[in-house]
Structure 1
């Protein structure tokens, strides 16, 4: 994808105000961006999540992926029924002292029923900075992937879920998992921006998550991610990101195979090293690498790239060593 097209997608999404339960601006922008994308159908579920499917021909990746990103970010919302001009409730994980200091600095800006921190969107060839990279970067990566698949007329099937209310406990993803619309052969792939920990670094490529603070993810799906990156020469990192938790944990708890990828994030939840409110940022190369990985992932069946399931590996070893097993077992008394 041309840099100008990606920059346009990023700017259009990152300038949208959002908060848990108030994702309508972001959802409308995603719908506008994908409205004329070839082979894409959009649907809103009963909870308000936006579901998308790119289907061109009968070809499918193996497994079939559900790319997921949440549309909300920690922010202030009007309490239900409140008529007071200055009454706000903050939804999302940020310390009260940091909130108070941010308000005193005049960083809060009201936009209808929500109020967000007031930072400009700045997109350069090296860095992306905005009030809410988490998780509008993930949303932008999915949109860019779908648009490029359509432009190239790639024959494949891939799904997407743009979810609500992640920041207050994965509520949108949980609703999707309880009414799973994507079939038994699909794997949920959470796309996040996350604080780099346990050896992960910004600029080192997207992070293929072993798991998060709450759970570990599907080992076979994670292996496919790693193998695809290796085969395509895409720089990635493999880490346990246990400084937080993501939607893959919620969906996996509902019995659906899940995995995760994160773009390393600076100033997570708008907190800098001094615990002051600041814009979030990611590195452009990390985002581009994520999009390249997603394209390779959904356009490949993954047959014949050397990745076997754990069951297949053990059964092959049993066949290979059957003679040794028989000979050794005779000596047991």
Structure 2
């Protein structure tokens, strides 16, 4: 899987992208999934790319929808200002407008991303836009691995547009949800590690972000799967930013988040210098392994009871104590 994953990363990370201008990335994803068995591709009215891997009748509970966005902060030509360059995405204007940073942009038609090369060496993956093309690569590698193994499973994927300017593609997806009530959304992101998370320590099971907290039962399922498979993960609240799970959850879709730890988030290093983003290859591999297991295996053996199950058992265990103490409470009311 490692060579295949490296190839997928190189092909995707070399594609220029920007909010509303994800066509290069979308075409590459379509090419990578075109001949994969049991995969169907489509687009919705917003231009989000949708994919479904379906083999056999087995369905996980829930049916997962894996989500990643195809855009990254970059310059685009403003259609209302004679084609002048405008920077879209979460980087301070005071930094974007510095002459030395303007010199780093690389024009490609109507977009101009940062001009950093793709590098994969000594276990580190660097590029102009790891966020969230690495998440897209994880989903593609997951689908390819399911097909290679011939696993009976159903899993959906949504590669969304215009996340960096306010979850626009994700919001459209949530408001026109095509996957059914039993489906749940898993945001597959790259995120700045905070609150104890570290690069190189495995994927982060994201219990929430800056705007919301995610579905407890879905998080428990991801954690249980990691334990069953012996995959090291980090369980953290990543509140330095927000991800598409928040948008889908606001639309009434059960949601959770999974993140690959990211260095130089939005191309800014610790000194606020414009730099290439980077992730650790082992973190990416572990994320693929976890998502494959999440959608491709039965969750048996290890695992915690749900909170409802635990409370019900405790109620039975302590029933006599409750009844005896209730009598004392009644005495105090007399």
TM bucket by the smaller chain? over 0.9
Q: Assess, with a 3 A threshold, how the Cα gap between structure 1 residues 104 and 176 changes in structure 2: closer, same or farther.
A: closer
SS at match of 2:71: coil
In structure 2, distance between residues paired with 1:190 and 1:206 = 12
Q: Pick the aligned partner of 2:104 from 107, 112, 121.
A: 107
Structure 1 length-normalised TM:
0.96
Moved more, 294-303 or 140-149: 294-303
SS at match of 2:228: helix
Structure 2 length-normalised TM:
0.96
Find the counterpart in structure 2 of residue 68 from structure 1: 67
In structure 2, distance between residues paired with 1:14 and 1:58 = 35
In structure 1, distance between residues paired with 2:109 and 2:100 = 17
- How well do the aligned residues superpose, as a CA RMSD in angstroms? 1.3
Moved more, 89-98 or 138-147: 89-98
In structure 1, distance between residues paired with 2:202 and 2:303 = 23
In structure 2, distance between residues paired with 1:52 and 1:321 = 49
In structure 1, distance between residues paired with 2:258 and 2:87 = 27
Unaligned runs of 5+ in 1: none
CA contact (8 A) 1:102 1:277 kept: no
Find the counterpart in structure 1 of residue 38 from structure 2: 39
Q: List aligned pairs for 1:189-268, cutoff 5 A.
A: 189-268=186-265
Q: What is the CA-CA distance between 1:226 and the residue it aligns to?
A: 0.9
1:5 aligns with 2:4: yes
SS at match of 1:111: coil
Q: Assess, with a 3 A threshold, how the Cα gap between structure 1 residues 198 and 102 changes in structure 2: closer, same or farther.
A: farther
In structure 2, distance between residues paired with 1:119 and 1:317 = 57
1:321 aligns with 2:279: no
SS at match of 1:205: coil
CA contact (8 A) 2:163 2:169 kept: yes
1:293 aligns with 2:272: no
What is the aligned length?
Answer: 330
Q: Assess, with a 3 A threshold, how the Cα gap between structure 1 residues 259 and 104 changes in structure 2: closer, same or farther.
A: closer
Q: Assess, with a 3 A threshold, how the Cα gap between structure 1 residues 166 and 320 changes in structure 2: closer, same or farther.
A: same
The structure 1 segments of at least 4 consecutive aligned residues displaced by more than 6 Å after TM superposition are none
Find the counterpart in structure 2 of residue 25 from structure 1: 24
